[in-house]
Amino acid sequence: MKKQPLAIRSLLALPFTGLLIIQLASCSGTGNPAAMQAKIDSLQGELNKFQAEKAWTEMRLARFDSLDYIFYSNQQWADFAISHADNIKVYYPDGAITEGLYPHHIDMMKPMFVFAPDTKIKTHPVKFGSGDWTAVIGEMEGSFSQPMPVGNGKTIPPTGKKFKLGMCTIGHWKDGKMIEEYLFWDNQAFMKQIGLAQ
């Protein structure tokens, strides 16, 4: 490849040099320290806001870990008040909705432990949040080891089968407590795993 003469190379480089000078001049604030300081203050404000939101999200996710790993898994129902507002509204996979922690939401969780007393949530493989919302995927596991009450004094005998069910909880938070909770899991997959469906 033939090299271009120096004069032509200099002419071609001139627009790029001019553009570079303009960019450097704009970065220097063109001698306006007040404008530069205002920009720095604005960016610092955005950074502070981001860091505060991140800290809130991390606190909520840590609280949610305790909720599932300790309180739910060990049926420590009174401790749910640490992460749930008294008037929490909870949406369930079957379309049911409860309002209020005691007794409504708690009463919806207790039946699982009657027929599967070893039910635990040990992992949250995915968890994140933004603003006042968190999303957590948990893995609920246990075994159908006790009779399952189905109403009118009737029960289904235990199959002894184990289950491992993925579930998702979307939480809407105000301050340090959830005010809304959306629960998602596959009831059909659960029934298949415990031997009550095909």
In a domain, 144, yes or no: yes
The mean per-residue pLDDT over the stretch 68-88 comes to: 98
pTM to 2 decimal places: 0.79
In a domain, 22, yes or no: no
In a domain, 161, yes or no: yes
In a domain, 79, yes or no: yes
In a domain, 29, yes or no: no
In a domain, 6, yes or no: no
In a domain, 2, yes or no: no
Give per-residue pLDDT as tens, 17-52.
Answer: 555 455 555 555 556 888 888 889 999 999 999 999
What's the CATH code of the domain at 47? Answer: 3.10.450.50
Domains contained in the chain, number: 1
Give per-residue pLDDT as tens, 166-176.
Answer: 999 999 999 89
Q: How many Å apart are CA 63 and CA 51, to the nearest integer?
A: 18
**Residue ranges making up the domain that contains 89:** 34-193
Q: What is the pLDDT of residue 128?
A: 98
In a domain, 149, yes or no: yes
Q: What is the pLDDT of residue 105?
A: 97
DSSP secondary structure string for all residues of the chain: -PPPPHHHHHHHHHHHHHHHHHHHHHHTGGG-HHHHHHHHHHHHHHHHHHHHHHHHHHHHHHHHHHIIIIIITTT-GGGGGGTEEEEEEEE-TTS-EEE-IIIIIHHHHHHHHHH-TT-EEEEEEEEEEETTEEEEEEEEEEE--S-EEEETTEEE-----EEEEEEEEEEEEETTEEEEEEEEE-HHHHHHHTTS--
